[in-house]
Amino acid sequence: MSSNSDTAQIPYERPVIIRDEDATNPIAISFEHVTKTYKLFKNDRARFKATLSKKVPYKEINASDDLSFTIARGEAVAFLGNNGAGKSTALKIITGVTYPTHGKVEVHGRVSALLELSAGFDSQLSGRENIKFRGQLWGISDEQMAELEPGIIEFAELGDYIDQPLRTYSSGMKARLGFAFASSIKPDILVVDEALSVGDRKFSKKCQQCVHEIMSDRHVSVLFVTHSSSAAKEFCSRGIVLEHGKDIFEGSIKDAIAFYENRN
């Protein structure tokens, strides 16, 4: 069992964040005493007032609380925990969506995230245009995108809709496009959060097979978040159990699942 909750937090004055695309580093991800604190206000009006005055009352909550763990290059690790355990916050820190309040975070390698699959698309652009737009955001060259685009379109299975505005897509179609893009980028670190149930059963199976293929590369590290014990066993060799933002158990995936299920 992890003893992180009993360890005094290292007094970093500011969070230390190291992020690069060095896929040769034996460590893929490292958290050292990471805390992410959110301020909860009574309502939106109070939140707005807080931008003008420091006297507005609020409550603090630590979504990540003195959290420490390490994921080695090529390792597949499952994050287990109930809603509110801090799983999504840890993933957002890893992917750069949010930043820690305290602690040290290292992420070495290109990260591909199968999280909110439809986030970041422009509803006025077509599916094809969104592929190119997202490629630019990723810093992928036009030449590389020209090579990747046919495979992304084929995988998404959107037919003629690929040239229609995204505002005409269903949520499932947007998720298909998002998964097709994220999985086409050859990642060093793959982050998966309940994203394998995209679309119908046939397409979901296709997504699972795709993740297996990415993971077959022994240099790819995988961080997998799910409420499904069977999915965790299928994809991962190690498990980390979170509760109230803390790491309360680390071990083999079998032992981690048993610990998690015994607490529920």
- pLDDT tens per residue, range 87-114: 989 988 998 889 999 999 999 998 887 7
- pLDDT class of 19 with cuts at 50, 70, 90: very high
In a domain, 2, yes or no: no
**In a 10 Å sphere around its CB, with 0-12 CB exposed, 13-18 middle and 19+ buried, how is residue 251 labelled?**
middle
Task: Tell me, yes or no, whether 102 and 129 share the same domain.
Answer: no
Mean pLDDT over residues 192-205, rounded? Answer: 70
**97 and 23 assigned to the same domain:** yes
Number of domains in the chain: 2
Model confidence at 212, pLDDT cuts 50, 70, 90, reads confident
pLDDT of 3 > 50? The answer is no
Q: Is the pLDDT of residue 7 over 50?
A: no
Backbone angles phi, psi at 61, to 5 degrees: -135, 135
What tokens were used for 254? 């079998």
Give whichever of 54-63, 203-212, 216-225 has the largest mean pLDDT: 54-63
- Choosing from 184, 201, 235, the residue where a domain stops is 184
CATH at 105:
3.40.50.300
Together in a domain, 97 and 57: yes
Q: Does some domain include residue 189?
A: no
| Residue that finishes a domain, picked among 184, 199, 216 | 184
Long-range contacts of 157-162 (CB under 8 A, 24+ apart): 157/203, 158/127, 161/127, 162/126, 162/127, 162/128
| Residue 201 resides in a domain | no
In a domain, 118, yes or no: no
β-sheet bridge partners, residue 39: 60
Going by pLDDT thresholds of 50, 70 and 90, the confidence category of residue 184 is confident
Q: Which domain holds residue 76?
A: 16-110+225-262
104 and 229 in a single domain? The answer is: yes
Same-domain pairing of 23 and 92: yes
Whether residues 130 and 104 fall in one domain: no
Q: Please say whether the beta carbons of 247 and 31 come within 8 A.
A: no
User: What would the pLDDT profile of 64-94 be if each residue is shown by its tens digit?
Assistant: 999 999 999 999 999 999 888 999 899 889 9
Instruction: Let me know whether 82 and 146 are in one domain.
Output: no
* pLDDT value at residue 13: 63
Residue 162 belongs to a domain:
yes
229 and 252 within one domain: yes
243, 226 contact by CB (below 8 A) = no
**Looking at the domain assignment, is residue 92 inside a domain?**
yes
